[in-house]
Amino acid sequence: MSKRSFLSALKFGHSLRSSISKNTNNLTPRACRRRVVVTGIGIVSPLGVGTRHAWQALLQAKCGIVKLDSPDYEKLPCRIAALVPKGDAPNELDLKTKFTTSDLRTMCPATAYALIAAEEALTDAKWKPQNEEEKRDTGVAVGIGMIDLVDVCTTNEMLKKGYSKVSPYFVPRLLPNMAAGQISIKYGFRGPNHSVSTACATGAHAIGDAFRFVRGGETSVMVCGGAEACISPLSIAAFCRLRALSTSRNESPQEASRPFDKNRDGFVMGEGAAILVLEELNHALERKVHIYAEILGYGLSGDAVHLTAPSEDGAGAFLAMDRALKDASTDLSKITYVNAHATSTPLGDAIELKAIESLFGEHSSNVIVSSTKGAHGHLLGAAGNLESAFTVLALEEKIIPPTINLHSIDAQTRLKFVPNKICRWLTDSRRIALKNAFGFGGTNASLCLAQFID
């Protein structure tokens, strides 16, 4: 970003802040709000299965992006993806050991990933209620960004052989709310049963909505997040036609996803799930359970510009972050880290940086920005929640995860970056972060997350 662009960003940020200063968000008065904390985390990701495996791999700057060797991908411009490691090692996954054949007929892989992550998160939170009152006080908000296109294509071929060949579970497997439904059914949770499907903002919206359910008193515990498992020749081809995917590093897949780097050329599709357990603070304290972090605020916005491209002035991202800060009643000078949505696309990364710098203005020099997508690719509907989980761990452990493959920053900016290796999160005050997530259709979400202080 040039000096002129930087000054323009500051001017834009001041103008936009002024225009929305009267916005009260129409939320419950802060004095009436309940505090919401994170007490459980579960992860199924390209960096590994299990929270500790994935987190340690991220801190060690490992990468879960691999080459797609199937002949079906040979003629496609992009032949790489970030897959959940399959096998029987501790950090790998074999679905057949987790579910019966009958179970797997009823669900798509994304739902299976969500169930596995939910089990880990609930075990971590020590929350598996047996009495009816506690089950009624526990809800689920889990979304899926895209349906399983492989299932659609396969079922269409079966229909050509005869009506009776179509599985009676075909529709339930496709519905985006079935991950939430399956989790609710498995554990008997009778609180809010909610699902979000907002493209690549799905996971962040699910966490934000769950946060509001708990804060507003509708329930005391929410199991929330997102899942995705839509990598296939058709989906890769479709995103290639949009010119969204990286196509220049098919022979060096671990170098393909490079947020903020001047040589980035598109994102890399990923799969997986991440689930958080959110809990009302006193409920958690009474149980004497470990608390990872606190959620302070949640902001949403719409670009209202284009089907797939973000607003060039960054207004949508700006508004989501600004609203999250207002919702949290937190001054922007208190934010020292932004876990960016940055997917490694030339346009999107630059616009997000512009929005961040517009928001923080002169405080930009005190803000660190990173994107973990260099390590695990873009999980679409499971991106915002996986990266929220990593942000929560960063808050607790005082470590900011790196942006791998960042060798030459494509911006002149006062913001700080974390290229290729971790940095310590050093601050004299409470650690507070923003987590951004943006999706096609111009949908934006931002979460304000903080170090837990009783």
User: Known catalytic residues?
Assistant: 200, 341, 378
Q: Which helix (H) or strand (E) holds 172?
A: helix 170-174
Cα gap 165→144, rounded to integer Å: 26
> Torsion angle, CA of 281/399/361/299, rounded to 10 degrees?
-30
Determine if residue 289 is left, alpha or beta; phi over 0 gives left, psi from -120 to 50 gives alpha, anything else beta: beta
Residue appearing with tokens 């990364």: 349
DSSP code of 357? H
Q: Which helix (H) or strand (E) holds 141?
A: strand 138-144
Strands in 3-79 per DSSP E: 36-45, 48-49, 65-67
Question: For residue 11, what are the CA distances in angstroms to 1, 58, 414?
Answer: 14, 37, 15
Which residues lie below 8 Å from residue 156, measured CB to CB, with a gap of 6+? none
Residue appearing with tokens 């797609």: 68
Q: Residue 336: how many CB atoms within 10 A of its CB? A: 21
Measured over the CA atoms of residue 75, residue 77, residue 83 and residue 85, the dihedral's sign is: positive
Cα gap 82→269, rounded to integer Å: 6
Transcribe 99-117 into DSSP letters.
Answer: S-HHHHHTS-HHHHHHHHH
Cα gap 328→28, rounded to integer Å: 12
Of the candidates 361, 440, 437, 368, the one whose C-alpha atom is nearest the C-alpha of residue 401 is 368
* DSSP H helical ranges for 253-407: 281-287, 315-328, 346-360, 373-376, 383-397
Transcribe 231-254 into DSSP letters.
Answer: -SHHHHHHHHHTT-B--S-TT-GG
